[in-house]
Amino acid sequence: MSENTSHSAEGLLGSLKSITALAVAIAHNRLNLLSADLEIARERTVSVLIMVLVALFCLCFGALLLALFVVVIFWDTHRLIALGGVTGLFILIGGVCLWRVIQALKAMPATFEASLSELAKDYKSLKAEE
């Protein structure tokens, strides 16, 4: 009888160890996936920010020079109309760009999409085993 009890205790302990090892392995895989997702998101964000800053600098400098050019051309005849037209054009372009940025931010995919789908699969498989 005691042999049977010790054998079932070892089986229970072995099962508990294997379940714990499996849980640790699943958590390790998910953390690796989450880490990869974070790295991809960070690289994408940094590259986009650098491009946005360079683009903004160049566009602002070009817009300033264009405005100055237009005002100098019409200095003797219609300088106020030229200033108003250039200002209106810049406001219109800025509004369109802002609207496009808002649309792009709304359409961005979830950052941890792969991690979340894998966790959902794990949850479904654990629910199916119960």
| Interval 62-117: pLDDT, tens | 888 888 888 888 888 888 888 888 888 888 888 888 888 888 888 877 666 766 77
Q: From 14, 90, 16, 33, select the one nearest 59 (Cα to Cα).
A: 90
- Residues in contact with 41: Cβ distance below 8 Å, sequence separation at least 6, in sequence order: 111
- Enter the DSSP assignment of 109: P
Per-residue pLDDT band at 9 (split at 50, 70, 90): low
This prediction has a pTM of: 0.46
